[in-house]
Amino acid sequence: MMRKGVGFFILSLLIFIYAVTQVFNTPPQGVSSFSNTNMFDDLYEEKETKPIVINEDTELKLKIASYVKEGSLIFRLISPDNIVVYEKAGKKVYDLVTIPVTRGEWALKVESDHAKKGNFSLLAVVQYE
């Protein structure tokens, strides 16, 4: 029998694939992206920071899907000026947003608030014309 967290993760992945094909259905001129998927059973104590280098003023498409049985996860997008421009937290997070970004080094941070038994998936895409 499939565990609830694994089932949620698989469903999130399928929804994610569908959403990406719908959101990014135009042929890109130039694309920069990164993705990260993480599953954990024990207490998730890491604080992850993923740098995102933006070469010109544009938009960042950010997709987050997460589920934890206990505690919560916190997702933040930090500007080059160290300002939080996006934040989402909870046991279940599913978000697909487009955020205007400026040139510089941005940071996508994932933090745990006593999160146990869960998973998360991140996708950040910047399209240049």
With contact defined as beta carbons under 8 Å apart, do 99 and 127 qualify?
A: no
Spatial distance between the Cα atoms of 87 and 129, rounded to a whole number of angstroms: 27
**Second CATH level (architecture) for the domain 4-128:** Sandwich (2.60)
Summarised one tens digit per residue, pLDDT across range 5-30 is 666 666 666 666 665 555 544 444 55
* Rounded Cα gap, residues 31 and 44, in angstroms: 31
Task: Tell me, yes or no, if the pTM score tops 0.85.
Answer: no
- b/e map of 103-125 (b: 16 or more CB within 10 Å)? eeebbbebbbeebebbbbbbbbb
77 near 108, Cβ under 8 Å? yes
Residue 77's pLDDT band, with cuts at 50, 70 and 90, is very high
Tokens of 62: 């950010």
Chain centroid to Cα 125, Å, comes to 10
What confidence score (pLDDT) does residue 90 get?
Answer: 95
